[in-house]
Amino acid sequence: MAQNQRRFNVTNHQIPIPTLHQSTTNTTGTDTGTSTRASKTASSSDLSILTRFHAGYFCISLALCSQALLWKTLAEPTTDARALSSIVRTIPSFAFILLWSIALLTLLLLCLLYLVRCFLRFRSVRAELAHHVGMNYLFAPWISFLMLLQATPFLQPDNRLYRILWCAFSVPIVVLDVKIYGQWFTQGKRFLSMVANPTSQITVIGNLVGAHVAAQIGWKESAVCMFSLGITHYLVLFVTLYQRFLGSDSLPAMLRPVFFLFIAAPSTASLAWDSISSSFDTGCKMLFFLSLFLFASLESRSSQARMDSPLLMASQ
């Protein structure tokens, strides 16, 4: 497990991280030496934070933005008597605006920290760009921005600014697509069969979320374009992951939550196609039932692991 953690850690092995203890052991007794050492310690501490910070922290904003979008979706008017809109509407609208604002501020703060890291720790950023896990998390901020755009209470899809923001958030996704998919096609050490892992599905989700927003704007061609990119690579990626899926031992414990992406990808595709076709047709239902099947499969394996754990401990 220690070897796996070192293999998946893309930020901490590039540059030695000075600790507070190391920075303060050789301080002198003079006031000048103490202040100089204290300033160096503070500087080292700040740089240590930037070194430890990586694109995986954007999952925090991804969670908050998805909750804001879920709240807005549940609050939308509907004729379905079983919907929860009547219950959600009893909550003051200020609560939703507060959640949306917190998600936006969190995302902007993370983006600012990562931008500073690009200037001060570019070697770590470059290592992350070349890593088969870290690279996938660079899609997370743009997905978060697109979700916030969908959930915004201040703009409508027919607004010009809304469309400009969609373009600004979708172009980086396409650029990252070209980089990653090009590596899969051409570089021997970067073939999909060599680097595929559950986090690779974030690249697919980025295209599908972009297609969903484009369809709501009314840009059907752009929506179909991004959907075709996402669903084509999802099919290839799903088969690749299915063939090499070895269970939770193939990832360190800190990355096991990414298995939820097996559910997120087909369910997002279902929503995207629903927006494109303007109806929850057979294709949407197929993707929805696939996500349910994958959820049941992962849950059954998790239950089996919980049952086997006491037996393994008893045998030891």
Mean pLDDT of 7-13: 41
251 CB burial (10 A radius; 0-12, 13-18, 19+): buried
| Same-domain status, 130 and 168 | no
pLDDT, tens digit (0-9, with 9 covering 90-100), for 256-291: 778 888 899 999 999 999 999 988 889 999 999 999
Q: Give the model's pLDDT for residue 264.
A: 92
Does residue 18 sit within a domain?
no
Does residue 309 sit within a domain?
no
Does residue 201 sit within a domain?
yes
Does residue 179 sit within a domain?
yes
| Same-domain status, 108 and 93 | yes
Torsion of CA 37, 40, 41, 43, to 10 degrees: 160
Domain count, the chain: 2
Cα–Cα distances (Å) from 234 to 61, 127, 255, in that order, read 23, 25, 20
Q: List the CATH number of the domain containing 177.
A: 1.50.10.150
More confident residue, 221 or 256: 221
277 closest CA partner among 209, 208, 224: 224
Q: Give the model's pLDDT for residue 305.
A: 56
Q: Is the dihedral of CA 277, 282, 285, 286 positive or negative?
A: negative
| Same-domain status, 186 and 148 | no
Does residue 12 sit within a domain?
no
Answer yes or no: are the C-beta atoms of 65 and 106 closer than 8 Å: no
Q: State the pTM of this model.
A: 0.77
Percent of the chain with pLDDT over 90: 38
| Same-domain status, 150 and 186 | no
| Same-domain status, 183 and 142 | no
Range of the domain at 91: 45-76+85-154
Q: Which of 154, 186, 206 is the last residue of a domain?
A: 154
| Same-domain status, 167 and 282 | yes
Collapse the DSSP code of 287 into the 3-class scheme (helix H, G, I; strand E, B; otherwise coil) and give the result: helix
